[in-house]
């Protein structure tokens, strides 16, 4: 019998030698999120995010959030549907100030996933109104990630265009009160 393994054939070698399993575990939280997902190595293309971008000065910060492990897909990245839900919430902030009542998302005009979102990223959602109608408001949302291992450096991970419509109590479109009177928020840094 070999000293390498005393486990029966087909058995988990870590069960026979628990110390061996511990030595191969990631040593930092950053290693855990960037190198494996449930013990399966994940290759991360670092070249795509070496350049940091500036945050947009012409858009308003409308939401900040940190995704959690429960928001992951099978590949260890954050599930795209979770990102879409957050973009919808962020997009609704600007129209909500002016609609004066109920509103609904009527269209996702464009949605581009530029980079994967990871557990621990600090996501910043910036928005601006791009179109005002009689019953609807279209907004542009840009999402930037501050990576867990690269604080202070941002990469654009998502951008989207969404349209919201003001609705009455029966769910029918209604006129937005004084759409020409829409003005930027007096303190764009306030969230």
SS3 letters across the chain? CCCCCCCCCCCCHHHHCHHHHHHCCCCCHHHHHHHEECCEECCCCHHHHCCCCCCCCCCEEEEEECCCHHHECCCCCECHHHHHHHHHHHHHHHHHHHHCCCEEEEEEEEEEECCCCCCCCEEEEEEEEEEECCCEEEEEEEEEEECCCCCCCEEEEEEEEEEEEEECCCCCECCCCCHHHCCCCCCCCCC
Multiple choice CATH, 48-181, 2.30.29.30, 3.30.420.310, 2.60.40.1180, 3.10.129.10: 3.10.129.10
Q: What is the mean pLDDT of the chain?
A: 78
- Over the stretch 26-82, which tens digit does the pLDDT of each residue have? 443 444 344 444 444 444 455 455 578 889 999 999 999 999 999 999 998 999 999
Segments making up each domain of the chain, as ranges: 13-43, 48-181
**Rounded to two decimals, what is the model's pTM?**
0.69
Which regions in the chain score pLDDT beneath 50?
2-5, 7, 13-14, 18-44, 47, 184-191
């Amino acid at each position: 019998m070999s000293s390498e393994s005393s486990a029966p054939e087909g058995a988990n070698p870590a069960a026979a030698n628990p110390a061996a399993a511990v030595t191969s575990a990631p040593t930092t939280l950053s290693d855990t999120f960037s190198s494996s997902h449930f013990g399966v190595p994940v290759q991360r293309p670092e070249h795509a995010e070496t350049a940091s971008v500036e945050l947009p000065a012409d858009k308003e910060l409308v939401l900040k959030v940190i995704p959690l492990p429960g928001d992951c897909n099978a590949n260890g990245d954050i599930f795209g549907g979770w990102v879409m839900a957050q973009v919808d919430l962020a997009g609704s902030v600007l129209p909500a100030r002016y609609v004066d009542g109920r509103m609904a998302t009527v269209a996702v005009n464009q949605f581009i996933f530029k980079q994967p979102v990871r557990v621990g990223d600090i996501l910043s959602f910036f928005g601006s109104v791009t179109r005002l109608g009689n019953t609807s408001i279209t907004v542009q949302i840009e999402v930037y990630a501050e990576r867990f291992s690269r604080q202070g450096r941002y990469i654009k991970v998502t951008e989207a265009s969404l349209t919201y419509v003001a609705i009455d109590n029966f769910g029918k479109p209604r006129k937005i009160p004084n759409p020409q009177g829409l003005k930027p928020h007096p303190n764009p840094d306030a969230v």
